[in-house]
Amino acid sequence: MGVVQKVEDGKFVESNSAASLAEAKKKAQSSNTLDKDAFLQLLVAQMKYQDPLEPTSNTEYISQYATFSELEQMQNMSASMDLFRASSLVGETVLLKVKDSQGRETTVQGNVDYVVYEKNKAYLSVNGDLYSMDDLDTVADPTYLEAYRMGAEFLNILNKLPDINNLTIADRAKVEEMGKMYDNMNEYQRSFLTDEQIDSMKKYVAKMKDLVAIAEANKGDDEDGGDDDKGGDDK
C-alpha cells in the first residue's frame, strides 16, 4: 500500500502519525542512558587506568555495580508498567495531542485497535496509524463522548437559528428538533449545556409555539372565509 504525503505551499508535510513517531524517536535518542554493557566497559576502563599506588577497592566496585543494577531494575519495572498500561487501552476511545512537523498541535480521536512494542516503547494504533504513548492526552468514557456529541449537535442547531425576533414558521423543524433533543437528554448530558444556552432554547421553543398557534389560527380563518364565500354563491 502506497503512502500519500500531504503537500502545503509546495512542501511535503508529515502526517500526524509520522510526526508522532519522529518525536518519540527523538525523545528516545535524547534520553538514552548507559546500558549494562556500557557500564561494564567503563568499569573495566576505570580499573585498567586507576592509580596503582591508590587502587580503588573491590568493595567500591561492587557497590557501584549494585547501584547500577538496582537502577536498571527500576527502569525495567517502569517500562513494564507503561507496556501494561498501553495494553489496557485496546478498545478504548482516546484523545491524542500531536504536534506536526511545523510545531502545530492537533487533536486525534479514535479507538485503540492494537498496541505495538518496540525497544520498551509502546505505540498505539488509532484510525489505522501509529502514535507514541507520549501523545496520549485523555482516555474518554463512552458516556462522556455521547454527552459531548449530543451537546455539540444541540449547540450546532442553536447557533444556526436566526435572532429570536426574526424567527419564522420556516424555522419550526429546527426548533422542534432542538427541543426534542433537550427533552431526551438525561441530567448528566444536560450538564454539558450552560444555563444561558438552556434558557435561550426555551425562549425559542416558546416563541415557535406562539408562531405555530398564530399560523394555525390564520389557517382556520381562511378556511372559514372560504366556506362562507362558497355558501354565498349557492344562494
First to last CA, the chain: 84
Cα separation of 38 and 214, whole Å? 87
**H helix or E strand, kind and range, residue 7:** strand 6-8
The x, y and z cell numbers of residue 135, run together, are 501523545
- Residue matched to cell numbers 568499569: 43
Whether the CB-CB separation of 86 and 122 falls below 8 Å is answered with yes
At position 66, the amino acid (one-letter code) is A
Report DSSP state, residue 9. Answer: T
The reported pTM is 0.50
Task: List per-residue pLDDT tens for the chain, 235 residues long.
Answer: 333 334 455 444 455 555 555 555 555 554 455 566 666 677 677 667 666 666 656 666 666 666 666 666 666 666 667 777 778 888 888 888 888 777 788 888 888 999 888 877 888 889 888 888 888 888 888 888 889 889 999 999 999 999 999 999 999 999 999 999 999 999 999 999 999 999 999 999 999 999 999 999 888 766 666 555 555 555 4
How far, CA to CA in Å, does 143 sit from each of 127, 178, 186?
21, 20, 11
178 membership: H or E segment, kind and range: helix 172-183
Cell representation of residue 172: 419550526
**CA 8 and chain centroid, separation:** 24
DSSP per-residue codes, 199-230: HHHHHHHHHHHHHHHHHHHHHHHHHHHHHHHH
State residue 13's pLDDT score.
44
Q: Identify the helix (H) or strand (E) that includes residue 11.
A: strand 11-13
C-alpha to C-alpha distance for 117 and 12, rounded to whole angstroms? 28
At residue 113, φ and ψ (nearest 5 deg) are -80, -40
Tell me the three state secondary structure of residue 69. helix
The one-letter amino acid at 13: V
